[in-house]
Amino acid sequence: MASNLTTVDAAVTARIILAGLTANGLARLAPTSRLQGTVKTITEPDGSQSLDGSYCLSGKGNAFEVDPIASKDWVKIRINTIIETYAYNSRSATTRIAIGFMIIYRVVAVAEIIYALVSGISPTCWDSIGEVTALAMNSTPTIALPQHLRQHH
């Protein structure tokens, strides 16, 4: 039987098969199994330890420090990852203007709340749920409502 796979398709198919075999093998590991070696870390200026991202995220090398003698028969697996995400920045003029408007809006909103709390002034047109209900019942229904909801008693 002839195959219609091109070279590119065969490479993709091989990757998919290898990924499946790797996932199957990892799934069959005993629950007590663990990664071998220690994760490469760096010492921060405050003395704390953190993950060395220059290895783990950039593909510059092995993320683990392993004993070269003990690992001579191990199978090396290279894992390439692609991280796609959205990010925001404030470099463009549009973003800076929008941030400015949001800050102004928040300042005005907080000022109105503080003024209402300090002065005791609040809208008095609808002091109770009864007034709101009476207003709703005495208002002319809008034509945007379906006919069965517009029936005025």
What pLDDT sits at residue 23? Answer: 82
Token pair 């002091």: residue: 127
* HSE-CB of 21 using CA atoms within 13 angstroms: 7
Q: Model-level pTM?
A: 0.30
What pLDDT sits at residue 3? Answer: 55
pLDDT digits (tens, 9 = 90+) for 32-75: 777 677 777 778 888 888 776 666 556 666 677 788 888 888 77
CB 49 within 8 A of CB 55: no
d(CA 102, CA 94): 12
- In the chain, where the domains are located: 93-149
**What is the rounded end-to-end Cα distance, in angstroms, of the chain?**
79
Coil, strand or helix at 130: helix
pLDDT digits (tens, 9 = 90+) for 73-96: 877 766 666 777 887 777 889 888
CB 55 within 8 A of CB 84: no
